[in-house]
Chains A and B, each alone.
Chain A
Amino acid sequence: MPPLLDAQALSKHYPVGGGRRGATLHAVDAVDLRIAPGECVGLVGESGCGKSTLVRLLARLIDPTSGRILLDGDDTTAVSQARFVTMPARARIQVVFQDPSESLNPSFRVFDSIADPLKRLLGIKDRAQLAVRVHRAADLVGLPRELIERYPHQLSGGQRARVGIARAIAVEPALLILDEPTSALDVSVQAVILRLLADLRARLGMSYLFVSHDLNVVRLLCSRVVVMYLGRVVEVAPTEALFTTPRHPYTQALIAAIPDPARRGEVRPRLDGSPRSPIDPDPDTCRFYGRCSRGTDRCATAMPALRPFGDDHFAACHFA
């Protein structure tokens, strides 16, 4: 089955000025990512790894420096993001944003926030029809009808999160990108929202790209996980395989760092230090070299490519 989303060799470089001419920041470098219809893919990595940039590339909020993004076989990067805004394909990818307090327009009522994409992307002008669609979206996310006429500041964090989801699914996208959707919520509210998200995916058949720093949550919802480091994909694997037998040293450190009460008092190898600079990185050196416990000369002379490790599991390391 052809993938729903096929990102090929995506790169995003930003010029950085200040004295040094031609210096570029490699936010995302040669990333390949495929998402099948109905699949839930997790995206993890520490801050600065490029996942936010990748999300914005895939959501077509920014244009890539090179590479392309195919949606159902059509190249969405053939047009600039400014032109993509008004194309029908725009409705097929939607995003649920991180901070519910910032992702809703404070001067829009809930109804207006949910109705806006319906008006612009689906061209629904009739007020009655809009109301039907808005109510349907609100019902799907379990948002009580009486809250629809409220303003965001009158809602709780959990309610705002639901509005954000309702707004994204109202246009019935094929791919929903969720950028840390529950990180600003309390644990009890998070549980509700996660169950809602799982339920919606089953009901509406959407694919998810789920970005989170909480690996336990990713493990819960996703069938496949992509690990990024300094702009590159370092490992891709089915969820259980990633958590039980991570291949890349960075992934191993990441998994070892998850707080686990069952491993109290254990002294575990820790990943210290900071990542290297993403500005003008050496194309022949592994990005993890220097911080990796296993570095050798080979790591400094050849960039490791993603190698297969059986059953859909890939890692970019010479020694995995």
Chain B
Amino acid sequence: MTAQLQIEAFSLAFRTRHGTVRALEDVSLSVQRGEIVGLVGESGSGKSVLAYAVMGLQDAAARVQSGRITFGGMDMLGASEQALADVRGREVAMIFQSPRAALNPIRKVGRQIEDILRQHANLPSSELRKHAIAALNRVRIPDPERRYNAYPFELSGGMCQRVMIAMALACSPFLLIADEPTTGLDVTTQAVIMDLIRDMSRDAQMSTLLITHDLGLAGEYCDRIAVMHAGHVVEVAPTEELLSHPAHPYTRQLLAATPTPRSTVDGLVSIPGQLPDLRRELPPCRFSARCARHVALCDELPLPWTVVNEAHLVRCWVPL
């Protein structure tokens, strides 16, 4: 089965006044139809940069250095802006953090959904309102006719996020990219929103790339998880496998540092050191300076793709 989204050996750097920041290096990832893949990493790991690059929305200072991104067979990196604009919103959609900030504050939410429909779906104008209200209904917003006329500031954070999801899913895209969709929302709202994303993914056989720093959240909702560190994907595995048998030292430390219902304070492990400066010349493994299992090989040879078992890959010379 061909993957919906295929990222191969993708490297991206930013040219800045202070040097070239090698934000992503040799990143490979695939998302199949209907699966929810979690992209987990701390701040500075490059997960949002990757998401924006997939959509063709990277910063003007970004330079693709190598690799391919294919979406449904279409080459995203080589495509024209016109082709990308056509695909965005219709076939691949994105939802962002801070939902209220991502919505137009001076436009009614119903109209914002209509904007998407008008752009991408071939609907007569008279039908737009009906479809917009249907979209609001699908995300379980109560009283959608009335909420159609609401402005973002009148809605709670959770409601705004639902509106964003409605906008994203209005044209039934093949791929949904969710960038920290529940950060800042209450835990109860988070659960509802994540359930919604999961249910809609399943119903529409939609692929989802869930970007989050919360390993617990990814653990509950994702089929597979990819762990990122300093611009590298260090490990990819099915969720249960990753959480019970992590192969990469960073993954294990991340798990040990994440509070769970069964953690104790003394059991919490902190990861020594800091993220490396991505402007510097770095060893092939960017975690080596902080890794307890570090050997000479880590600084000399480019990272391998070690197969732990089918579907579980890790980029490490000394996996656990």
Contacts and interface: CB of A to CB of B under 8 A. Distances in A.
Interface of A: 46-47, 156, 186-192, 194-195, 198, 213-217, 219-221, 243, 253-254, 256-261, 263-264, 268, 270-274
Contact of B43 (A186, A254, A257): A186
B55 to A, nearest CB: 25
11 contacts: A47-B186, A191-B257, A191-B268, A191-B271, A213-B186, A253-B188, A257-B191, A263-B220, A264-B239, A271-B188, A272-B140
Given A259-B217, A259-B220, A273-B142, A186 B263 contact: no
Given A214-B259, A259-B190, A270-B191, 11 more contacts: A186-B43, A187-B215, A191-B257, A191-B269, A213-B187, A254-B187, A258-B187, A259-B220, A261-B216, A261-B220, A264-B220
B258 interface: yes
A192 B239 CA distance: 26
A198 B264 CA distance: 11
A273 B158 CA distance: 9
Interface in B260-290: 260-261, 263-266, 268-271, 274
A31 to B, nearest CB: 20
Contact of B270 (A156, A192, A253): A192
B156 interface: yes
B3 interface: no
A191 B186 CA distance: 21
Contact of A260 (B140, B195, B216, B239): B216
Given A46-B188, A188-B253, A216-B260, A259 B156 contact: no
Interface string B220-249: 110000000000000000011001000000
Range class of the B interface residue count? 35 or more
A169 to B, nearest CB: 18
A214 B190 CA distance: 12
A241 to B, nearest CB: 14
Q: Is the interface of A mostly helix, strand, loop or mixed?
A: helix
A46 B215 CA distance: 21
Interface of B: 42-43, 140, 142, 156-159, 186-192, 194-195, 213-217, 219-221, 239-240, 243, 253-254, 257-261, 263-266, 268-271, 274
8 closest A-B pairs by beta carbon, nearest first, are A261-B219, A257-B191, A216-B259, A188-B271, A46-B186, A191-B257, A192-B270, A191-B270
Contact of B261 (A188, A189, A243, A268): A243
A46 B157 CA distance: 12
Contacts of B239: 261, 264
Contact of A194 (B157, B186, B216, B268): B268
B187 A187 contact: no
A214 B259 CA distance: 9
A263 to B, nearest CB: 7
A273 B142 CA distance: 8
A172 to B, nearest CB: 22
Given A188-B42, A194-B265, A215 B220 contact: no
B265 A221 contact: yes
Nearest to B254: A187
A220 B219 contact: no
A258 B217 CA distance: 8
B265 A198 contact: yes
Contacts of B194: 259
Contacts of A271: 188, 191-192
A309 to B, nearest CB: 21
A261 B243 contact: yes
A258 B191 CA distance: 8
A94 to B, nearest CB: 21
Contacts of A219: 259, 261, 263
| Residue in A217, A221, A258, A259 whose Cβ sees the most chain B Cβ within 10 Å | A259
B259 A260 contact: no
Residue with the greatest number of chain A CB neighbours at <10 A, chosen from B187, B221, B261? B187
A272 B102 CA distance: 23
A158 to B, nearest CB: 9
A258 B268 contact: no
A156 B42 CA distance: 14
A259 B268 contact: no
Nearest to A156: B274
B220 A260 contact: yes
A187 B265 contact: no
A186 B219 CA distance: 17
Nearest to B187: A257
A186 B188 CA distance: 22
Contacts of A216: 216, 259-261, 263
A190 B156 CA distance: 28
Contacts of B263: 216, 219-220
Given A188-B254, A272-B140, A220 B42 contact: no
A270 B157 CA distance: 17
B292 to A, nearest CB: 14
Contacts of B214: 259
